Amino acid sequence: MNNKSVLRSSSSPVGVDQGLRAFMLRVYNLMFIGLGVTAVVSYFLMQSTSTLMALMGGPMWLILFAQLGLVFYFAARLHKMAAQTAQLIFFVYATLMGLSLSPLLYMYTGVSVFRVFLITAATFGSMSLYGYTTKRDLSQMGSLLFMGLIGIIIAGVVNIFMNSSGLSFLISILAVIIFTGLTAYDTQRIKEIYHESDSQEDAERKAVNGALMLYLDFMNLFIHLLRLLGDRR
Would 142 be classed as within a structural domain? yes
Using CA atoms of 99, 37, 105, 227 in order, give the dihedral in degrees to the nearest 10: 110
CA distance 40 to 47: 11
Q: How many structural domains are present in the chain?
A: 1
pLDDT at residue 197 is higher than 90? no
Q: Give the other-Cβ count within 10 Å of 172's Cβ.
A: 19
Cβ contacts of residue 79 below 8 Å, gap of 6+? 205
Residue 187 lies in a domain: yes
Task: Output the furthest CA–CA distance in the chain (Å, rounded).
Answer: 74
CA angle 179, 185, 191 (to 5 degrees): 135
Asked if residue 29 is part of any domain, the answer here is: yes
Per-residue pLDDT of 67-79, as tens digits, reads 999 999 999 999 8
Q: Tell whether 3 is covered by a domain.
A: no
Tell me, yes or no, whether 225 lies in a domain. yes
What's the pLDDT tens digit per position in 172-195?
Answer: 999 999 999 999 999 999 999 998
* Closest listed residue to residue 192, CA positions, set 180, 177, 209, 178: 209
pLDDT tens digits for range 145-159: 999 999 998 999 888
Per the CB < 8 A criterion, the answer to whether 222 and 118 are in contact is: no
Q: 29: domain range?
A: 11-229
- Is residue 112 within 8 Å of residue 230, measured between CB atoms? yes
Mean pLDDT, all residues of the chain: 89
